[in-house]
With several copies, the nearest count.
Chain A
């Protein structure tokens, strides 16, 4: 067995600092909410659909309350109060707000305990549905067997949900375990979730609840036929992070890209908005039994994989601590790592093996999300195919949880049908070839691999200690992460963050805390 001899003191110190970093946000998590969180609550209450001009009803209701300076009490209370006043469903209430027939703040408070009872009923129903979805997933794995390790994860990204389904089904039949529907460019910066089935996206397909449903149905069909449960994933990320998490929970997605800091660093979303949204979205994921996947790979698409290896480790530890805060168990923490090493580097395989082992051993229970070569992928598809093979080799050798298959056309276009098929063939060949190789090997005493892993760990530890000392927000403002400066009050979406009233209520937040046993 390949086993590192990691410096236990460093491990403990690094984790303690990461924990301190996460702990320092209780003021934000306790006292604030955001428009996206409120829209999420509305969605969970059953509000869906959009106005003729495409504006989704959750946004309509939320904006309505905001314009009346009433959001600080929480959107759910107003809707429930309206339900109580009118006897309508949440959806009907929202529609009336949309048509301008109803002013939620103009309704009397007849009986607050009835309103709370409505909230209790509505949220219980929603959570029951989510629980049903979770149990269905569990039952499917029970019936067809657990996911392989590493699981085969491929993307579809045609821009058209119907083409996506064809490609996804074909991939599933060829051996894919997880299908990711890549989002259209720039969706993460939309402060709403588009409505309905969509056929026009660029570089990906819009994440909409209807698209989730269509793809889930397609995959359920194949799952049954091939007797393997095919997981579905999307991005709970960007300005609508928690809304998409909720949509995923409702439509039985099984994993979610969901990073604590990605939006801040790579999408210039306001730090407070992002951290707050991730806190709530992760509770949804935790409750729904959805495996989160974090975005550490992104550091390496812009920075050097050797020089900045420690940023991956540091981010993994931070993501881990934030995930704990939202009730996510290690078994559902798909922490990110990426094979972005320069193929021209001598001993690239050896370096990468050190990094992959480090991730695996720091997070032995986590289904690590292992990302393929992208940065050094070139138009030479034959070479890229080889780089993907090395990636697959290491994924199997070190037992990463989820292998996001690289495509030989990575540098050219979003995957064609045959590209994906060849990628699956690549993975299946490598996985089989080195299946039990690990059991045959051990690290030589004083190996470079062990040294390298420990030195990355040491760098990550000092980095985390410095960040913990200074505070995450300050560190980000200074450009400590990915060389990108993100001031506390800069970026998109800060206007959507607000201080909660003492009367604020979010029935889901309360129930999640109880059910997930968060203090």
Chain B
């Protein structure tokens, strides 16, 4: 195989070994096991070993299986959208803002709609920060307004308009039935309708979010698990500076 073509690795290069776990509405017997095997076959999996068959009752059965996938990935073709601005420390960012923007950046943040998981947005915004990295409230260059939990989109936009915000920070943690996609889309659509979309940066975050997805949803940037205020602050400062020089 070509060097850029890769497959999963078990114990021999490119052996394609993967583990699967799933439930099917079948009985916990040879027929059920065969259904599990058929499913994997259809997914391009070979040398299938359905090694665990657990009766979940009520007509369902849980399967654990190992197998060899025929899928390959050409890593030379992988393109990922990532936030590529440099990451600066709090002091550096404050210095950068002072020198390049000469103003205090206002950001308004919230967990929107039904979401009440504030720990993530607090980690970015609150004084205390997260994992020994201070939040935006502690930055001299930022005026950070955190509206907290379950804020309706309308309210967030209203506040952003009032405060003449440079950026909006939205957190979405609950993702069941893609509620986060719905909520984030709603916010952007309202912002467009109100003519706010281009007046400020729209940034979202949450454990199931990526920059890629954020862009797709019409945001300027997205931050996932393990983000820090330093990432977000640097991104905002640098992007605002660059925009002002376009």
Give the distance to chain B from A229, nearest Cβ to Cβ, in Å: 18
Give Cα A202–Cα B58 distance, bound, in whole angstroms. Answer: 24
* Chain A residues closer than 8 Å to B57, beta-carbon distance: 169-170, 173-174
Given contacts A163-B11, A301-B119, A416-B11, 4 further A-B contacts (CB under 8 A): A185-B115, A413-B10, A416-B17, A417-B56
Judge whether A270 is part of the interface by a CB distance below 8 angstroms. Answer: no
By beta carbon, the residue of chain A nearest B225 is: A379
Judge whether B49 is part of the interface by a CB distance below 8 angstroms. Answer: yes
* Chain B residues closer than 8 Å to A412, beta-carbon distance: 49, 51, 66
A-B contacts, 10 of them at CB < 8 A, read A157-B176, A170-B58, A203-B176, A379-B52, A381-B64, A416-B9, A417-B60, A417-B62, A418-B22, A421-B62
Which of A412-429 touch B at CB < 8 Å?
412-418, 421-422
* Chain B residues closer than 8 Å to A189, beta-carbon distance: 150
Q: Is the CB of A170 within 8 A of B11?
A: no
Judge whether B101 is part of the interface by a CB distance below 8 angstroms. Answer: no
Contact status of A163 and B13, CB under 8 A, knowing A186-B116, A412-B66? yes
Give the distance to chain B from A416, nearest Cβ to Cβ, in Å: 4
Q: Is the CB of A166 within 8 A of B115?
A: no
Q: Is the CB of A159 within 8 A of B62?
A: no
Judge whether A313 is part of the interface by a CB distance below 8 angstroms. Answer: no
Q: Is the CB of A411 within 8 A of B13?
A: no
Which of these, B21, B52, B175, B177, contacts A159 with CB under 8 Å?
B177
Give Cα A449–Cα B8 distance, bound, in whole angstroms. Answer: 46
Q: What 7 A-B pairs come out closest when comparing CB atoms? A: A379-B51, A416-B10, A379-B52, A186-B114, A173-B57, A185-B114, A170-B58
Which of these, B56, B64, B113, contacts A380 with CB under 8 Å?
B64
Give Cα A158–Cα B13 distance, bound, in whole angstroms. Answer: 11
Q: Is the CB of A158 within 8 A of B12?
A: yes
By beta carbon, the residue of chain A nearest B149 is: A268
Residues of B within 8 A of A (CB): 9-13, 17, 19, 21-23, 49, 51-52, 54, 56-58, 60, 62, 64, 66, 113-116, 119, 148-150, 174-177, 179, 207, 225
Give Cα A422–Cα B148 distance, bound, in whole angstroms. Answer: 35
* Chain A residues closer than 8 Å to B17, beta-carbon distance: 416
Q: Is the CB of A380 within 8 A of B60?
A: no
Contact status of A421 and B54, CB under 8 A, knowing A185-B115, A302-B119, A415-B11? yes
Q: How many A-B residue pairs have CB under 8 A?
A: 100
Which of A282-303 touch B at CB < 8 Å?
301-302
Q: Is the CB of A202 within 8 A of B66?
A: no
Q: Mark A427-460, 1 if CB is under 8 A from B, else 0.
A: 0000000000000000000000000000000000
Q: Which of B11, B66, B119 has the most CB of A within 10 A?
A: B11
Judge whether A167 is part of the interface by a CB distance below 8 angstroms. Answer: yes
* Chain B residues closer than 8 Å to A380, beta-carbon distance: 51-52, 54, 64
Q: Is the CB of A414 within 8 A of B62?
A: no
Give the distance to chain B from A12, nearest Cβ to Cβ, in Å: 35
* Chain A residues closer than 8 Å to B9, beta-carbon distance: 416-417
* Chain A residues closer than 8 Å to B148, beta-carbon distance: 268
Q: Is the CB of A417 within 8 A of B11?
A: yes
Give Cα A167–Cα B56 distance, bound, in whole angstroms. Answer: 9
Give Cα A167–Cα B149 distance, bound, in whole angstroms. Answer: 30
By beta carbon, the residue of chain A nearest B183 is: A202
Q: Is the CB of A414 within 8 A of B58?
A: no
* Chain B residues closer than 8 Å to A173, beta-carbon distance: 57-58
* Chain A residues closer than 8 Å to B207, beta-carbon distance: 379, 411
Q: Is the CB of B52 within 8 A of A378?
A: yes
* Chain B residues closer than 8 Å to A174, beta-carbon distance: 56-57
By beta carbon, the residue of chain A nearest B115 is: A185
Judge whether A160 is part of the interface by a CB distance below 8 angstroms. Answer: yes
Give Cα A411–Cα B175 distance, bound, in whole angstroms. Answer: 11
Q: Is the CB of A186 within 8 A of B52?
A: no
Contact status of A417 and B23, CB under 8 A, knowing A202-B179, A379-B52? yes
* Chain A residues closer than 8 Å to B225, beta-carbon distance: 379
Q: Is the CB of A421 within 8 A of B56?
A: yes
